[in-house]
C-alpha cells in the first residue's frame, strides 16, 4: 500500500542526497527565511501584550504553531508552481523544481507540519489563535498562490495580508482578544509588503515575464511600479508612526521616523534611476534593506517597552 501511494524513501526523495542536504531542502521547502520573519513579528506581538511573561508556555506554543503553519504554507506555495520555479533564477534550485523531493514527499511534509501546528495551537493556546493561523496559511498557500498570483498584478497587495497576521496572532495567543495596537502592526506589515516586494519584482521582471506571472513590472511597466513603491513606502512610514498613539513611546517614534524617512528616500532614488543594471542592483539593495527596516521597527517596539517599564523614558 505504501508503494502504491509512492511513499518509499526513493519515491519521496528521488535525488541522491545526504542528511545535511535533505535538511537544507526541508528548510528551503518550508521557506525558513520567511518563517523566521513571521515568527519574529509574532514574538513582538506576544511581548507587547499585557502580562505576557507569566504566560510564556502559551507564548512558546503559539510561536511553534505559527512556525509550523508558516512552513506548511511555504510548501503549499511550491507544490503549486514547481514548473514556474524552473523559469526563475532565484527559485530554479528549489528541491521540488529540480526533483530532489517528490510531490508526494512535499505533500506528506506539509500535512505533518500542518497537523502538528493544529494540535499545538488547539491544546496549548486558544481557538481564536488557531483560526487566525489557519487563515494565514490558507491565505498564502491557497488564495495567494492559486488565485491571486497568476491572475492579477496586485497579487502581492492582497496576498500580503496573510503574512501580516503574525503580530495579531501572537497577541491573541496571550490575551485571547483583539486590540488596536496589534491591528496597527498588521496594517504596518500590509502596507510594507508591496514596497518590500516590488523592488525584487523589478529585479526579476524578465524571469516573471518568462514564467507568465503577471507581476506589476511585467503588466504595467517599471515606471508605474516605481511610483507605486514610493506611494507604499510613504504609507509604511506614516503607519509605522501610528503605534505611538497607543504606546506613547518616543524612542520607537524616533527610530520609526528616521528609518522610515530613509526607506522613502530609497524609494525616491529608485524612481529617479534610469533603467539598466544600476537600477536593477539598487532595486535588489532596496529589497534587502526593507527586511532590515522591518526588523528595526519591531525591535524598536520592544526596546521602547522595556525602556518605559524601567522608567528610562
pLDDT tens digits, 132-171: 999 999 999 999 988 999 999 999 998 899 999 999 999 9
Check the CA dihedral 49-52-58-64 and report its sign. positive
Of 116, 110, 140, 99, give the one whose Cα is nearest residue 13: 99
- In CATH terms, the fold of domain 20-178 is Tetracycline Repressor; domain 2 (1.10.357)
Question: What is the pLDDT at residue 85?
Answer: 65
Position 4 pLDDT exceeds 60:
no
Summarised one tens digit per residue, pLDDT across range 96-114 is 777 788 889 899 999 999 9
Share of the chain above pLDDT 90, in %: 75
CA distance 37 to 41: 6
H or E element at residue 238: helix 221-241
pTM: 0.92
Cell digits for 201?
Answer: 519584482
Please provide the distance, in angstroms rounded to a whole number, between the alpha carbons at the two ends of the chain. 65
Summarised one tens digit per residue, pLDDT across range 249-297 is 999 999 999 999 999 999 999 999 999 999 999 999 999 999 999 999 9
Mean predicted confidence (pLDDT) in 118-126 = 98
CA distance 114 to 274: 45
Amino acid at each position: 500500500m505504501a508503494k502504491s501511494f509512492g511513499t518509499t524513501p526513493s519515491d519521496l526523495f528521488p535525488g541522491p542526497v545526504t542528511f545535511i542536504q535533505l535538511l537544507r531542502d526541508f528548510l528551503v521547502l518550508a521557506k525558513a527565511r520567511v518563517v523566521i520573519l513571521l515568527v519574529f513579528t509574532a514574538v513582538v506581538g506576544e511581548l507587547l501584550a499585557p502580562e505576557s511573561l507569566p504566560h510564556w508556555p502559551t507564548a512558546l506554543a503559539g510561536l511553534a504553531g505559527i512556525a509550523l503553519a508558516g512552513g506548511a504554507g511555504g510548501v503549499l506555495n511550491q507544490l503549486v508552481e514547481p514548473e514556474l520555479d524552473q523559469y526563475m533564477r532565484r527559485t530554479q534550485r528549489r528541491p521540488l523544481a529540480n526533483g530532489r523531493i517528490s510531490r508526494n514527499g512535499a505533500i506528506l511534509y506539509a500535512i505533518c507540519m500542518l497537523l502538528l501546528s493544529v494540535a499545538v495551537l488547539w491544546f496549548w493556546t486558544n481557538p481564536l489563535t488557531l483560526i487566525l493561523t489557519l487563515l494565514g496559511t490558507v491565505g498564502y498557500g491557497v488564495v495567494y498562490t492559486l488565485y491571486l498570483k497568476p491572475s492579477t498584478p496586485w497579487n502581492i497587495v492582497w496576498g500580503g495580508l496573510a503574512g501580516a497576521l503574525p503580530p495579531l496572532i501572537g497577541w491573541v495567543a496571550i490575551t485571547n482578544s483583539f486590540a488596536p495596537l496589534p491591528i496597527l502592526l498588521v496594517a504596518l506589515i500590509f502596507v510594507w509588503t508591496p514596497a518590500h516586494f516590488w523592488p525584487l519584482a523589478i529585479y526579476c521582471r524578465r524571469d516573471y515575464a518568462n514564467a507568465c506571472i503577471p507581476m506589476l513590472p511585467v503588466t504595467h511597466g517599471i515606471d508605474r511600479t516605481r511610483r507605486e513603491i514610493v506611494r507604499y513606502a510613504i504609507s509604511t512610514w506614516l503607519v509605522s508612526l501610528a503605534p505611538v498613539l497607543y504606546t506613547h513611546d518616543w524612542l520607537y517614534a524616533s527610530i520609526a521616523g528616521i528609518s522610515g524617512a530613509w526607506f522613502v528616500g530609497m524609494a525616491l532614488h529608485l524612481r529617479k534611476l534610469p533603467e539598466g543594471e544600476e537600477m536593477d542592483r539598487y532595486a535588489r539593495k532596496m529589497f534587502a534593506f526593507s527586511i532590515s527596516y522591518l526588523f528595526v521597527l519591531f525591535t524598536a517596539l520592544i526596546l521602547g517597552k522595556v525602556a518605559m517599564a524601567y522608567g528610562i523614558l
